[in-house]
Amino acid sequence: MEKPREPLIEFKAVSKTFGTRNILNRIDFSIYEGEVTTLIGLSGTGKSVTLKHIIGMLKPDEGQILFRGQPIDKMSKKQWNEYIGQISYMFQNNALFDSMTVYENVAMPLKYTTKLKKKEIEARAMARIEQTELIEVADKYPSEISGGMQKRAALARALVTDPSIVLFDEPTTGQDPIRKNAILSMVAEYQKRFGFTALMISHEIPDVYFISNRILALYDRKIVFQGDPEDFEALDHPFRQELISSLESLGEELTGLYSKRHFKVRYQTDLSQRQPDATYAAAVFTLDNIDAISEHLGHDATQQIIRSLGSYINKHFGAVGGFSSRQTINEYATVLPYSDLDEAHRIMDDFTRDFQAHGIQGIEMQRGEKGEDEGCIEFSVLAGLAQGKPQIEIESVMEFARFNQKEISRFKC
Amino acid sequence: MTNRSTSENTTSVAVLAPRKDPMRSFFNFFGVKTLRLNNDLGAMAIFFFRSFFMIFRLKAIPDIIQQIYFIGAKSVQIVVLVAFFTGMVLGLQLYFVLVKFGSVGVLGTAIALTLIREMGPVLAAIMITARAGSAMTAEIGIQRISEQIDALSTMRIDPLGYLISPRIAAAIISFPILTTFFDLIGIIGAWFSGCVLLGVNSGTYFYRVVASTQMDDIMGGYYKSIVFGLLVVTICCFQGYFTHMRTDSFGAKSVSLSTTSAVVISCVMILVSDYVVTSLIV
């Protein structure tokens, strides 16, 4: 029998009221070490308030917050300092010091909270600046750089002290779809690279599903769901009507394709009325080596490639009644309800030729912008087809398609 | 009929409404105001002492130097300008008063004592409030509303130690120095109008300035300038730091109102404390 995991941070019956307005009503949830946990909820429901409790900026009226099983309000000063020293907070509006350069902002926590020498501070700050692709703007002021760069500067500052827990308060607010996904993928990449535990507030449904290990849903002053993103999609709660219908559009913002939930709904609607022995084709596309793409071309360029792939899939497979969805950060699934496997192969050949001839050009352009001396990059697009029947679960058909995947396009410098 | 009914209803409502006790209302009004003032003064005292004791850290030295540059060095121009014309006006006014009594020879004494004991510290403090105090409130206020102060807390940097302590230290150093500038330039301004333009003997003027000025007068001026410096910085920083707690406005508007309040309260407190300190040192 598997031993239950011990939560890193646990809220137990935490309540908070401001004046006469109750914001949190005996909420319980757990955050586990090394995971990305995303807190979602409608505006003004207390998501930021919840986050601020963790870092001690607010204190609960009732209930307890536990860190590795120990109540944080009963910690000694030394324990509290150790606890708080492990946490970084990335503010919704970045909260960068506008009278300081990017470098000074990033170096600031080291300068004032450590006894490191100037050279060591410089080395560590510059390392983070380099990792977040801000070298060229290190001596610029926040007002002189773009919104995405400001986010990265805030992230670099949050990570410079090597925290083991990072709290992100709506890191994607006010960004365009490409930038939003670039920031989310940046969070995911750094979380993998540095291994911190992340708690993130986000409205970006369904994009956050791709990077989150766990979802917490805050509704009507309570946590109404905590679990993995797959289970959240099946949530049967009024919250789903209010939050999801208000936040989740039919198409994913980045790619213009169906969200995973609507993909399933469309699948059930289209294929439930078909004869049991009718067949359809399904395809799965994977953009290989995505980490290398991010590293060499940057997160924005990676998101543009993902979008480009999505639009080519839609162009070729949508034309014959197919519908597609982004399944993971680098995988697309397509169902062709009215095509057999032979027709699907023909469409796939057309798609391959078009994408190789035109789609990959966008990638060349991106590489050109970054310069020729950025090092060599190699990645491929894999695609696989499978035949399904209405009574077979879509997941099983997609698994077959994944098994049949082969390389259809390769980019090599 | 309808009118009568309305009238009856009105009467019955008037009878049912609780009568306002004027004495109760009076004490209620002033009680609330007094309690609020008491709370604010207590908060400001805690704010000041917590910030003051954080001055004594090695890491604060670069920030203190930076603030001395901002509060002190950058205020020199305006202080010198105001001091020169204040001195000129004083020289002019006192000349025409003293000439009636045939006492123009004591112009130097009158100018020196007026400037060193009274006008130098007060006007220098008001000028610094207008130039640096308002900027402090606005800067800290913007840092508050843009969550920069919250960011400091999350980075384990004490906002009072980082933002307020260097300013208090810089005020303690800068205010007396700027007051000295004001006194000296004011004396030169009065010499210009009194001696150069109106013909008072320069030797007599400067002899009287030196002979009538005692160390107690100079120190009295310094005590005042230090008290003014502490008051101005504490009031201006307090207004900026708690700009988000204002109930009359939010955002940029609250910063603008905090800045106005800071300048007005600082100027009033300079004059009030001037009387208190003068009465203690005279």
pLDDT band at B159 (very low <50, low <70, confident <90, very high): very high
Is B147 an interface residue toward A (CB < 8 Å)?
Answer: yes
Adjacency order of strands within the sheet including A87-90: A87-90, A165-169, A197-201, A36-41, A214-219, A222-227
Q: pLDDT by residue (tens digit) across B124-153?
A: 999 999 999 999 999 999 999 998 999 998
B178 vs B193: CA distance, rounded Å: 22
Report CB contact under 8 Å: A113, B154.
no
Interface predicted TM-score of the whole assembly (ipTM), two decimals = 0.74
Contact B230, B261 (CB under 8 A): no
Query: What angle, rounded to 10 degrees, do the helices at B120-128 and B165-191 form?
Result: 130
Q: What is the pLDDT of residue B75?
A: 93
Q: Report the C-alpha gap between A288 and A406 in whole angstroms.
A: 11
- Name the pLDDT band for B8 (thresholds 50, 70, 90): very low
- Per CATH, domain A9-247 is 3.40.50.620: no
Q: Which positions 80-99 of A are in contact with B (Cβ < 8 Å)?
A: 81, 84-85, 87-89, 91-93, 95-99
Q: Could you tell me if A200 and A191 are in contact, meaning their C-beta atoms sit under 8 angstroms apart? A: no
Residue B66 has pLDDT above 90, yes or no: yes
Tell me the per-residue pLDDT of A385-394, one tens digit each, with 9 for 90 and over: 998 888 788 8
User: Cα–Cα distances in Å, from B15 out to A153, B11, B21, B22?
Assistant: 67, 6, 15, 17
Among A88, A93, A109, the residue with its CB nearest the CB of B146 is: A93
Mean pLDDT of B205-233: 94
Tokens standing for residue A259: 């969200």
**A327/A401 Cα distance (integer angstroms):** 13
For A196-239, the pLDDT digits (tens) are 899 998 877 767 777 888 889 888 888 888 888 777 777 777 77
Quick one: pLDDT band at residue A112, thresholds 50, 70, 90?
confident
Best residue in B140, B149, B155 for a mutation probing chain A (most A CBs within 10 Å) = B155
Tell me the average pLDDT across A119-138. 90
Whether the CB of B47 is below 8 Å from some CB of chain A: the reply is no
Cβ neighbours around A136 below 10 Å, total: 11
The C-alpha atoms of residue A113 and residue A94 are separated, in whole angstroms, by 20
| Residues A359 and A312: beta-carbon distance below 8 Å | yes
- Farthest CA pair distance, chain A: 74
Chain A residues whose CB is inside 8 A of the B153 CB are 57
Instruction: Inspect the interface and report whether the beta carbons of A84 and B156 lie closer than 8 Å.
Output: yes
Q: Do A81 and B156 touch (CB under 8 A)?
A: yes
Rounded Cα distance between A83 and B228, Å, is: 41
Rounded mean pLDDT, B112-126: 95
Residue B203: CB partners within 8 Å, gap ≥ 6?
none
B153 touches chain A (CB under 8 A): yes
CB A57 within 8 A of CB A167: no
Find which of A174-188, A356-370, B56-70 is predicted with most confidence, using mean pLDDT: B56-70
- Judged by a CB distance cut-off of 8 A, whether residue B196 touches chain A is no
Chain A residue numbers with beta carbons less than 8 Å from the beta carbon of B156 are 81, 84-85, 109, 113
Nearest to A55 among B148, B154, B162 (CB): B154
Q: Average pLDDT, whole number, for chain B? A: 90
**Is the CB of residue B172 less than 8 Å from the CB of residue B73?**
no
B258, pLDDT greater than 90: yes
Is A112's CB within 8 Å of B153's CB?
A: no
A-B contacts (CB, under 8 Å): 44
Q: Is the model's pLDDT at B235 over the cut of 80?
A: yes
| CA nearest to A58 within chain B | B150
**Beta carbons of A87 and B153 less than 8 Å apart:** no
- Residue B192's pLDDT is 96
Which residue is closest to B63 within chain A, CA to CA? A112
Around A384, how many Cα atoms within 13 Å sit in the side-chain half-sphere? 15
Interface check for A280 against chain B (CB to CB < 8 A): the answer is: no
State the pLDDT at residue B98: 93
CB A30 within 8 A of CB A5: no
Residue B238 pLDDT > 70: yes
Owner of token pair 């798609």: A351
Instruction: Looking at the complex, report in whole angstroms how far the Cα of residue A23 sits from the nearest Cα belonging to chain B.
Output: 19
pLDDT-wise least confident of A65-79, A120-134, A285-299, B211-225: A285-299
Determine phi and psi for A171, rounding to 5 degrees. -70, -15
Rg (CA), chain B: 26
Kindly report the three-state secondary structure assignment for every residue of B232-251: HHHHHHHHHHCHHHCCCCCH
Contact A97 B143 (CB under 8 A): yes
CA gap A74, A110 in Å, rounded: 27
> Taking CA atoms, what residue in B is nearest to A86?
B155
- In this structure, whether the domain defined by A260-412 belongs to CATH 3.30.70.270 is answered with yes
Nearest in space to A215 (alpha carbons), one of B172, B201, A206? A206
Residue of A nearest to B148 (CA): A95
Amino acid at A186: M
**Does the beta carbon of B156 lie under 8 angstroms from any beta carbon of chain A?**
yes
So what's the pLDDT on residue B175? 95
Of B139, B147, B157, the CB nearest to A112: B157
Can you give the pLDDT at residue A322?
84
Which residue in A51, A57, A78, A89 has the most chain B C-beta atoms within 10 A of its own C-beta, making it the best mutation to test that interface? A89
Mutate to test the interface with A, among B148, B162, B245, B255 (most CBs of A within 10 A): B148
Residues of B in contact with A96 (CB under 8 A): 148
Confidence of residue B17 (pLDDT cuts 50, 70, 90): low
Of A148, A412, A177, A170, whose CA–CA distance to A306 is shortest?
A177
pLDDT at B86 over 70: yes
pLDDT of residue B89: 96
Side chain identity at A350, as an amino acid letter? D
Asked if residue B132 lies in contact with residue B138, where contact means CB atoms within 8 angstroms, the answer is no
Query: What pLDDT score was predicted for residue A296?
Result: 75
The confidence band for B215, taking pLDDT boundaries of 50, 70 and 90, is very high
**Integer angstrom CA distances of residue B76 from B82, B83, B175, B181, B185:** 10, 10, 11, 8, 11
pLDDT tens figures, A314-337:
888 887 788 888 888 788 889 888
Distance CA A391, CA A274 (A): 10
Q: Is B244 on the interface with A (CB under 8 A)?
A: no
More confidently predicted of B103 and A375: B103
Q: Which amino acid is at A36?
A: V
The pLDDT-based confidence of A251 (bands split at 50, 70, 90) is low
Structure-model confidence comparison of residues A294 and B222, the more confident one: B222
pLDDT at A182 over 90: no
Kindly list the residues from chain B whose CB atom is less than 8 angstroms away from the CB atom of residue A110: none
For residue A147, which amino acid is it? G
Q: Which is it for the CA torsion B51, B53, B56, B58, positive or negative?
A: negative
| Cβ partners under 8 Å of residue A65, min gap 6 | A9, A10, A11, A12, A14, A53, A54, A71, A72, A73
Phi, psi (5° rounding) for residue B158? -65, 115
DSSP state at residue B254 = H
Cα distances (angstroms) measured from residue B172 to each of A74, A281, A409, B135, B177: 40, 80, 71, 18, 9
Compute the nearest-CA separation of B157 from chain A (Å).
7
**Cβ count within 10 A of residue B101:** 8
Per-residue pLDDT of B160-182, as tens digits, reads: 999 999 999 999 999 999 999 99
Q: What is the pLDDT of residue A367?
A: 55
Cβ within 8 Å of A, B 127-146: 139, 143, 146
